Amino acid sequence: MHVKVGIVSDTHDRLESVERAVSAFKKAGVGAVLHCGDFCSPFVARKMAALEGTPFHAVRGNNDGDISFLNTTFAKLGPVKEPYQEIVLEGRRILLLHGHAVPEACITDIAAGGRYDVVVYGHYHHVRNEVVGKTLVLNPGEACGYLGGTGTAMIVDLGPGGAARVEVIEV
C-alpha cells in the first residue's frame, strides 16, 4: 500500500487556485496534504475545508500573519507550525519547511545530509523535483501564479520500495 500526497505552497490568498488545488487533490485521492506556507490570510482555510479528514501538515511562511488565528481557522485540518515540521508518511521521513529562513543552497545541504527521505519547501516560487544523494527534494512552486503566471502544485505518489512519482499540476 502507498499514499499519494498533495503538496502546495505560496497560495497568497489566491482563492481560485486554492479551490483548484483542493479539487485536484480530492480527485487524485491524496492521503495527506502538505502546505509549505504563505497562506497569507486565515480565510484560505475555508477553501481548504473540503480536505477535512485528510491528514494535513502545514508550516508558517514569511508572509503569514497571526499564527494563533491561522491555527484557529485551520483547527479542523491541522495546526500550522513554525519554522518546520518533521513528518513520517509511509515510513518516509519528511522535512516540511517554508524556506525563507535559509538560502536555497542550505536546503540542498540538508538534503545531502541524508537525515530525511524527502525535503519539501516553498518560498522561492519555482518548481523543483530533484534527488540529492538519496533524498527527494521538492518545491511545488507557487499556487498563486503571481510571479510565474501559472499556479502550480504537486501530487506525489510515494510508491513502494522508496520510489516516488511526482506530478506537477497547474492550479
The predicted model scores a pTM of 0.95
Phi, psi of 142 (to 5 degrees): -110, 120
Q: List residues bridging with 152 in a β-sheet.
A: 170
pLDDT at 158 over 90: no
| Mean pLDDT, range 5-17, rounded to an integer | 96
User: Which of 42, 113, 156 has its CA nearest to residue 58?
Assistant: 42
Burial 107-121 (b: 16+ CB within 10 A, else e): bbebbeeeebbbbbb
Find the DSSP H helices in the chain: 15-28, 44-48, 67-73, 104-112
Higher pLDDT, 117 or 2: 117
| Mean pLDDT, range 100-121, rounded to an integer | 96
| Residues 68 and 46 sit within 8 Å (Cβ to Cβ) | no
CATH number of the structural domain spanning residue 103: 3.60.21.10
The pLDDT tens digits for 114-135 are: 999 999 999 999 999 999 999 9
Name 99's Cβ contacts closer than 8 Å, sequence gap at least 6: 36, 107, 121, 122, 123, 124, 139
Residue 34, pLDDT score: 97
Average pLDDT of the chain? 92
The total domain count for the chain is 1
Q: Going along the chain, which residue ranges are E strands?
A: 4-8, 32-35, 56-59, 80-81, 84-89, 92-97, 118-120, 127-132, 135-140, 152-157, 165-170
The pLDDT tens digits for 49-80 are: 899 899 999 999 999 877 788 888 888 888 88
Residue 44 DSSP SS3: helix
| Mean pLDDT, range 11-38, rounded to an integer | 96
Residue whose grid cell is 480536505: 51
Residue 161, pLDDT score: 65
| Mean pLDDT, range 133-141, rounded to an integer | 97
- The rounded distance, in Å, linking the Cα atoms of 39 and 60 is 8
- The rounded distance, in Å, linking the Cα atoms of 49 and 77 is 7
Q: Name the residue range of residue 48's domain.
A: 4-170
